[in-house]
A and B are shown apart, each in its own frame.
Chain A
Amino acid sequence: MDAMLEITGLTRRFGGIVALHNVDLTVREGTIHAVIGPNGSGKTTLFNVISGIYPPSDGEVRFLGRNVGGMSPEALAGMGLGRTFQNTRLFASMSVLETVLVVLYRGSIALTISAKAERRAREILEAVGLADLADAPVTGLPQGQRRLLEIAKVLALDPKLVLLDEPHGGLNHTETARLIEAVRKMKEQGITILLIEHEMEVVMQLADDITVLNFGERLAHGSPAEIQANEAVIEAYLGQSASGPQAAPAPTAKADETLLSVRNLSVRYGDIEAVRGIDLDVKNGEFVCLLGNNGAGKSTTLKALARMVPASGEISFEGEPLLSRRIEALVGMGIALVPERRRLFGGLSVVENLRIGAHGRSRHYVDEVQEEVLDLFPSLKRLQRSLAFSLSGGEQQMLAIGRALMSRPDLLMLDEPSLGLAPKLVEQVLGKLIEVNERGTSILLVEQNARMALAISHRAYVLSSGRIVASGSSEELANDERVRNAYLGIAA
C-alpha cells in the first residue's frame, strides 16, 4: 500500500519551546492511524502543521507524494485534506444544513443553491445522523452533535485524508457508537484517517496503526497489540500506579451546617427547559459531585448557581439568598468557580493569572495566598513566568483551580475539570481537589467521568434530562444501577 502521508524529521518550535522534535510518521492509504500521547505531547501541534495552520520549522511533510510543508490550509483542503477541531469550530451564524452547503459550494460561482446540492448535503447529514436537525441553528447544538457536524463538514470536502482531533471527547455512549460507525463508513469509502484520541477503547477498536507521542517526540509506533504491550507507552500514558486517587477523608466537625442549599431550581433556554426542579445541598467541608452524561443539565445547574444564566427557584449560601445577587458579588461571599474550558487570561503569566484571582485585596494578602497556592501546585511554581496559553491542558487546569483558590473560597465549584485531559492528568487534577477539600474548602464538582468522581467525593447527585434521578453517598452510588442507566441513556 502507498503512503498517503509521509512525515520525516518534523520539528516545530514556538520561540524557545520545541513542541515537536524530529517526528517521523507514515500513514498508509486506506487505513485508520491513531496518534496518542499524554496531554501536551504535541498531538494538536502535529495536526496544525499537517493541515497548514503552522509551517514546519524543520523536516518534511509529504501528502500524496508532494512536499506540502508551508502550504496554506485552503490549498491543502483543495488537495483533499480535511480536518476537524478538538474544540469544534462551526460557523456560528449558520444552520446545520448551511454548514454543509457552504463546504459543497466552496469554489463555485453559482448564484443560487441547487436542489441537487441540497440533496447531497442532506445525504451527508444522514450519514452522520444529523438529518433531523438540518434546519437547526448550530449555536444551540450540544457538544456531541457539534462534533458530528464537524465530521459532516469534512465529508462535504470529499476528502482523501481526514484528520480527526479528539472526535470522541465529551460524547455520550449513543453518540460515541454513532461516531465510530461514521468513522468506519469513511474508511469503507476509501478515506484515509489520522486520529487523535484519548479514549483507548476507541483507539483500539478503530486503529490499524498507532503512533505514540511524548514530550513532542515519537515514543513508539506499531499495531494496537504492540502498543498495548509496550512498557514505555503504558508508563507515559496511563500513569505508573494502576489505582486511582485516594478517597477524600470524611468531612470534619462542622459537617452538619449547610453551606449551599438549592430548592426547586429551574433553568430555561428559550423553549427548552434545561434544568427542572432540582434540590441540592452542600454541607460545610463536604465534597459533592454532580454527575450525568452530556446534555443532562450539569453545567447549566452550575452556571445557574454562579449566576451566569437566569434561573428560577431558591438558592441560599450561608443562609443568604443568592439569586438576587450580582455575579461579581459571589466571590466576596466565598464562592469561586472554575469554568469549563478554564477561561484563563492567555496573554498573562501564571503568577499574573493567580494574582487576578485576588484582585482588589491587599498586597500582603495576595503574596501570602499566592505562596499557598503555588505550594499546592508545584508544577505551577516551576512555570511561574510562562504565559498561560503556552501551558499544556493539565497545567492550565491546575492554574484555573489555583486562580479560583486565590479568593480563599468556602465553596469551590468546578465545571468538568477533566475535559480533554489524559487519564493520568485527570488523576492528578482530581487528586489536587482532595487536598483542597482537606484544607477545609467545600467542593461542588460537575463531572462526566463518574467512576473517578465517585472515588474521590463524599456525596453525589446524578442528573438525567435536567432532573435528579439518583443521589446518595458516593460509595453507594458507585454500585448503583441508576448511575449507569443515566449514562447509557436507559430509561428508568
Chain B
Amino acid sequence: MMSGRRLLAFLVASIIVTVAIALVLPQVLGIYYLHVVDVMLINVILALGLNMVLGFGGQISLAQSAFFGLGAYAFAIMQAHGWPAPVAAIGAVAFSGILGALLGWPVLRLRGHYLALATLAFALIVSELMVNLDMLTGGANGMMQIEGVGLAGNNQPMLYVLLAVTLVAFAGSVIFAYSPMGLRVRAFRDDLIAAQAVGLNVKAMKIGLFVASAVYGGAAGVCYCWLQGYISPDVFGWQTTFSYLSMVVVGGLGSSVGAVIGAALYTLVPEWLRFLQEAYFVMFGAVVIIVIALVPGGLAGLGARLFKRLTRARSTDARSLSEQEA
C-alpha cells in the first residue's frame, strides 16, 4: 500500500513531468506532432476512465466510445443553444455521468460476457442515435464550427489545456486508487461475496464505477470539441470502443500509469509505423496480441516486475553475504 507521503511525492512528480512536457514539446515538435500529442492526451483520459471500471472494478465495459460521444455532442449542443463554454462543459460531463448511472443501474446483476454485451449494446444505441437524431446532432455530417474555448486548431495552447485536464484526471485516478474507496473497489473486484459479507455496498460501487468512467469519457468528449471545433458520429462509433479496451489491457489493467502508457502507445505507434501503409494494422494487431499473451499485467505490470526484481536481487545479495559471514 502506498503511504500518504509516497502518494504526495508521486503526485508532485506527475506535476513536474507535466510541466516539463509543456515546456519542452512545443520547442521540439512541429505543428502536426503537437496535434498527435493532443489526440493522445484525449485517449489518455478515455483510457483512465475505462480503467476505473474495468481495471479497478473488474467490470467489463464496452461503453467508453458512447460516453466519449455523449460528452462531445452534449457540449456542442449546449453551446449551440447559447450556454457559455464552462457551463456547457460541466453540463456535458454531468450529462454523461448521469447516463453512466442509468447504464450502471440495469446492468447491476450482469457480469462477464453478459455485461460486455449489454454495454456494447449501449454503445450501439448511442452511435445510432448520433447518426439518426439529425435535428439535434446534424446526422452523418456531424456538427461544425463548435466554438469551444476558441482554441480549435490551435495545437500549442490546446496542449496546455489538455495537459491540465489530463493531469487532473490522472491525479483523480491515482488518489482514488489510494483512498479507502479504492480499497473497497479492490475488495469488490477480488471477491464479490466476501465484500458483501463485510458490509460493502457493492451496488453503489458498481454504479459509481460506471459513473466515474462516464465522467472521464464525457470530459474527453468536451476536450475533443475544443481541440477540433467539429464532430462527426464516426469518431464515436461503437467499433472504436475496442481501441480503448486494447489501450487499457496493453497498458496494464488496474494501473493508472498503465492506462497512460497504453493510450500513448496506441496513439504514437501508428505514427511510427506509418511507412508500412496497409500492413500497419497487421503489425499493430500482432503487437497487441503479443503483449496480451506474453505480458500478463500489461506493460505497467512488466515495469513493476522489473523494478521488483532489481530491488529483490539487491536484498538477496545482502542476505547471502550475511549468511556467509555467519
Contact = CB atoms under 8 A, between A and B. Distances in A.
A51 interface: yes
B1 interface: yes
Contact of B199 (A95, A98, A103, A112): A103
A136 interface: no
A77 interface: yes
Interface residues on A, range: 35 or more
B83 to A, nearest CB: 31
Contacts of A97: 1
Given A77-B199, A157-B199, A92 B191 contact: yes
Contacts of A154: 198
Nearest to B201: A74
Contacts of B200: 74, 102, 106
A264 B255 CA distance: 42
A102 B180 CA distance: 7
Contact of B198 (A92, A95, A103, A109): A103
Contacts of B189: 93
A74 B201 CA distance: 6
Interface string A85-107: 10001111111011001110111
B169 to A, nearest CB: 17
Which of A52, A74, A109: most chain B CB closer than 10 A?
A74
B57 to A, nearest CB: 12
B183 A101 contact: yes
Contacts of A77: 196-199
B194 interface: yes
A330 B184 CA distance: 43
Which of B4, B175, B187, B196: most chain A CB closer than 10 A?
B187
Which of A52, A93, A102, A106: most chain B CB closer than 10 A?
A102
A72 B311 CA distance: 45
B183 A73 contact: no
A113 B4 CA distance: 8
B179 interface: yes
Given A89-B191, A91-B187, A93-B186, A98 B1 contact: yes
B140 interface: no
Interface of A: 51-53, 72-74, 77-78, 82-83, 85, 89-95, 97-98, 101-103, 105-113, 153-154, 156-157, 271
Given A94-B190, A112-B4, 12 more contacts: A51-B197, A53-B196, A72-B196, A78-B199, A89-B193, A90-B194, A91-B187, A103-B199, A106-B184, A106-B199, A110-B179, A113-B179
10 contacts: A53-B193, A73-B196, A77-B199, A85-B197, A95-B1, A101-B183, A106-B199, A111-B179, A112-B180, A153-B198
